[in-house]
């Protein structure tokens, strides 16, 4: 599936970085369903100190070691990854997930 072209509001260097990282996640994570941009970048409230928040949703959680490696790797580029199982994400009514469902921007989806 092609990465959604709904990042035009972002600076071109940020668009490139996100696109590159999304493509990398697509190759690395089995049973991937969605990658969602959330937080200050999704709300267009980012500052120079803002990190990039990505929600990674898959059918079944990726291996803990893989998640840890990816988080460490992405943290070096000021990108925070949050992992969720698809069913838990769909059924959750916690404030954090509700906010992402409201403001998040889907960057990639499995069809």
Say what the pLDDT of residue 1 is.
Answer: 47
**Residues of the chain with pLDDT > 90: what percent?**
78
Q: Which ranges constitute the DSSP H helices of the chain? A: 12-28, 40-43, 64-75, 86-91, 95-103
Structure confidence by residue, pLDDT tens digits, 20-42: 999 999 999 999 999 999 999 99
Domain that holds residue 97: 2-109
User: Above 70 in pLDDT, residue 91?
Assistant: yes
pTM over 0.85: yes
Q: How many domains does the chain have?
A: 1
User: Above 50 in pLDDT, residue 107?
Assistant: yes
| Three-state helix/strand/coil letters over 62-94 | CCHHHHHHHHHHHHCCCEEEEEEEHHHHHHCCC
Say what the pLDDT of residue 2 is.
Answer: 52
């Amino acid at each position: 599936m092609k990465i959604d072209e709904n990042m035009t509001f972002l600076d071109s260097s940020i668009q490139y970085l996100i696109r590159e990282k999304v493509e990398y996640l697509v190759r690395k994570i089995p049973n991937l369903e969605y990658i969602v941009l959330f937080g200050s970048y999704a709300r267009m409230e980012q500052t120079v100190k803002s990190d990039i928040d990505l929600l990674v949703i898959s059918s079944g959680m990726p291996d803990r070691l893989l998640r840890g490696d990816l988080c460490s790797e992405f943290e070096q580029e000021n990108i925070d990854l949050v992992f969720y199982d698809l069913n838990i994400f769909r059924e959750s009514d916690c404030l954090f997930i509700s906010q992402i469902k409201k403001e998040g921007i889907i960057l990639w989806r499995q069809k």
